[in-house]
Copies of this chain bind each other. A is one copy, B any other.
Amino acid sequence: MENAFSDRITDVPKSFIREILKVTIDPSIISFAGGLPNRLFFPVKALQQAAHDVFEEAGDEILQYANSEGYLGLRQFIADRYRQQEGLDIPVDDILITTGSQQGLDLLGKTFLNEGNDLIIEEPGYLGAIQAFAMYRPRFHPVTVSEGGMDITALGQVLGERQPKLLYTVTNFQNPSGISYSDENRRAVADLVRGSSCLIIQDDPYGDLRFSGTRKVSFKRILPANTVLLGSFSKTVAPALRLGWLVAPHPIMDKLIIAKQAADLHTDSLAQRILYRYLCDNDLDLHIATIIHQYGKQKEAMIGAIQQFFPPEVRYTNPAGGMFLWVTLPEGMSSMALFEAAIKKKVAFVPGTPFYVDRKDSNTLRLNFSCSDEPTIVEGIKRLGDSIKKLY
């Protein structure tokens, strides 16, 4: 039979990153291509104990269908943490547990986007967000993000000419660039959005992974009525559990819950209970401190090696947290061509192209530093530097 697929699914190409990751399965390749947290820091024993305990205590209750909003204890933990960490007062009813924060993006697309609606996205921007929103066929308006945050002039222009429904941001240690928005930039963005019907989606999977400097102000504080927050336990505890959350006020939350029910009824409640028990019995901040300490050293190793082995014309970000940094090759140089050359030297990365809404090539690339130890990072950057010099 002929398959008449929907327009939305016909438009979306096969994931480029998936194809790249297949190449890097070869264990002799040093890969800076992945986007994974380092498995050395997964709290295996503590989660095993938590799993044992919830089965022991809650028995059959944790195995039954549950409510779509998510487990109350876990939502309370998230609310308490917002209060402690950011001084934000979030009612527990404004928190929805999602099947990873990826699902939060899908639910927001479903709840807000008609075909052709305007949506502002960072450029470069998070690929998973581009993919999730693309399913609802909006008109993407990319606004450049560089050191310090969003291009305010360009943002003002889009807001002046169009009526965007959503503005998607990763304000802390952005994927792919590692860039954070300064407080001033956040306030400037908020000033432009204030009074419009545009909703800011502040996606913050990396905010807790800060190596240096101090926490920046949340859009939820400076523009609460226009802000939705996304969060995740994937980078601080473990990604396999697929546990994220979404913060939205009452009239929006009602609609999101309808979308959630249609999507998967509710998120795995055994996983929610195991995680909650883990969070009650362990010190999350102590655990995060261990991760930060190592990621920070790895980032320093990568920056040091770049300074040593890359030609001085190559620019790069120096993130204060997260898992990625962003490299800009000299104008006109192709990161796709560099990828081909680098693979021959057994080192991999993700070319910048998929992080733009509509480009065939670019002179930028993403490097991941969370998954390799320091000697491996130095060796990999040395090989990559050789490839750049050869191509340059």
The CA-CA distance from A270 to B243 in the complex, in Å, is 12
A interface, over-half SS: helix
Q: Do A64 and B39 contact each other (CB < 8 Å), given the known contacts A3-B251, A111-B5, A262-B134?
A: yes
Which residue of chain B has its CB nearest to the CB of A10?
Answer: B255
Chain B proximity mask over A159-180: 1 for CB below 8 Å, otherwise 0: 0000001000000000000000
Residues in chain B near residue A36, CB distance under 8 A: 64-65
Least distance between A104 CB and chain B CB atoms (Å): 10
Chain B proximity mask over A173-207: 1 for CB below 8 Å, otherwise 0: 00000000000000000000000110100000000
CA distance A258 to B9 in the complex (A): 8
Count of chain copies: 2
**Which residues of A (36-75) have their CB < 8 Å from a CB of B?**
36-37, 39-40, 42, 44-45, 47-48, 51-52, 55-56, 59-66
Instruction: Pick the interface stretch among A95-103, A318-326, A331-339.
Output: A95-103
Chain B residue with the shortest CB-CB distance to A272:
B240
The answer to the question of A135 belonging to the interface, with a C-beta cut-off of 8 Å to chain B, is: yes
Interface membership of A106, Cβ < 8 A? yes
Chain B residues positioned under 8 Å from A55 (CB to CB): 44-45, 47-48, 51
Extra pairs beyond A65-B240, A99-B268, A242-B265 (15, CB < 8 Å): A5-B111, A6-B111, A7-B114, A9-B258, A9-B259, A18-B261, A44-B60, A48-B51, A48-B55, A51-B52, A99-B264, A106-B264, A128-B261, A131-B261, A131-B262
Binding site for B on A (CB under 8 A): 1-9, 12, 14-15, 18, 36-37, 39-40, 42, 44-45, 47-48, 51-52, 55-56, 59-66, 99-100, 102-103, 106, 110-115, 117, 128, 131-132, 134-136, 165, 196-197, 199, 225-226, 234, 238-242, 251-252, 254-255, 258-259, 261-271, 274
